[in-house]
Amino acid sequence: MVNHFLTIADYSSEKLHELLYQAIELKKLYKDGGRDLCAAGKTIAIFFEKPSCRTRVSFETLANQLGAATIYLKPEDVGSLGQREPIKDLMRVMNGMVDMFVGRVFKHSDLVELAKWATIPVVNALCDKYHPCQGMADIMTAYEHLGDLKGKKLTYIGDGNNVSASLAWACFKFGMTFCVARPDGYDMPAELYQQLKSQGATDENIIVTTDPKASVENADVIYTDTWVSMGQEEEKAKRIKDFQGYQVNMDLVKLANDNVKVMHCLPAYRDLEITDEVIESPYSVIFDEAENRLHFQRMLVKDLLQR
């Protein structure tokens, strides 16, 4: 069976801990000027249906650092998924030529179809349902700033979207409490809660509320993401109205633990979901978090190519 990285849910807590600790070791090696050319001679195809700064730059950079080449492909190059040719044909061509397929796509079901036909690893670089690379870079950042994560509380304020879904899984796998404060109508899918419960999550470690102030009580991490994800631009005006009262601002941050860390996956829309003051404050670890996209994914790619 080929190993992919489509969702955090697919990975055991043990394997995710192992990847976290190894990613920290590899980060240290690279910070100290070392190199690990384990992927020399390999090629990674990076196919993106949506724009990206952090994800693209981190994959291109880590490939270079591991000795691999990349091919960046947009729908204008190879065609939209399933339109110029069936996904199963595209994937079988990739199997014969490259060593890994990194995909940022609109539909999670397209990644599942790609993985079904793949004999090389497929990595989810964001889809409508999940953003697992982000979730694990977030865990790495929280761990570096807070130490052991077991029993710590992460509060996510805002839209129940792809980023929150991966965070919910990441928190569960690392023994954290995940609290989400969102307006009615913007919750994560019911099936996600069912899946988490089927793996042992309880009402104590997955908390859902409409009250941002109550949600940050005892929080070790406050996290937010845009209210308008890529592809939802037409709903922008309605969403901005519906999310009033859910902004992460200094008044809210001050209600959490004194040592609280504020995170955001970026890009951030300043003074909508989060204020400029919070982003630039000592509470913010947002740029460490962005950098950790590189460090976690470098270990993930090394691991996937060596399995």
**Residue 110 engages ligand NVA in binding (rule: CB under 6 A):** no
32 is catalytic: no
Burial of 306 (0-12, 13-18, 19+ CB in 10 A): exposed
148 is catalytic: no
How would DSSP label each residue in 40-72? TT-EEEEEESS--SHHHHHHHHHHHHHT-EEEE
Give the nearest distance from C-beta 139 to ligand CP in angstroms: 14
Give the residue with the Cβ less far from ligand NVA, 41 or 185: 185
Contact partner, 53, from ligand CP, ligand NVA, none, Cβ < 5-8 Å per class: ligand CP
Q: Which positions from 267 through 286 interact with ligand CP, judged by CB under 6 A?
A: 267
**Residue 226 engages ligand NVA in binding (rule: CB under 6 A):** yes
36 is catalytic: no
133 is catalytic: no
**Residue 249 engages ligand CP in binding (rule: CB under 6 A):** no
Say how far apart CA 209 and CA 220 lie, in whole Å: 17
Q: Is residue 133 within a helix (H) or strand (E), and if so which, with residue range?
A: helix 132-146
- Among 102, 171, 260, 265, indicate the residue that binds ligand NVA (CB under 6 A): 265
Say how far apart CA 125 and CA 278 lie, in whole Å: 27
Give the residue with the Cβ less far from ligand NVA, 73 or 163: 163
**Residue 240 engages ligand NVA in binding (rule: CB under 6 A):** no
Indicate which residue of 293, 297, 298, 303 is catalytic.
Answer: 293
56 is catalytic: no
- Among 53, 93, 97, 250, indicate the residue that binds ligand CP (CB under 6 A): 53
Say how far apart CA 236 and CA 220 lie, in whole Å: 30
Q: For the chain, state the CA radius of gyration.
A: 19
Q: Where are the beta strands (DSSP E) in 99-247?
A: 100-104, 122-124, 153-157, 177-181, 206-209, 221-224
258 is catalytic: no
Task: Answer whether 88's CB lies under 8 Å from 117's CB.
Answer: yes
Which sequence positions are flagged as catalytic? 104, 131, 134, 225, 265, 293
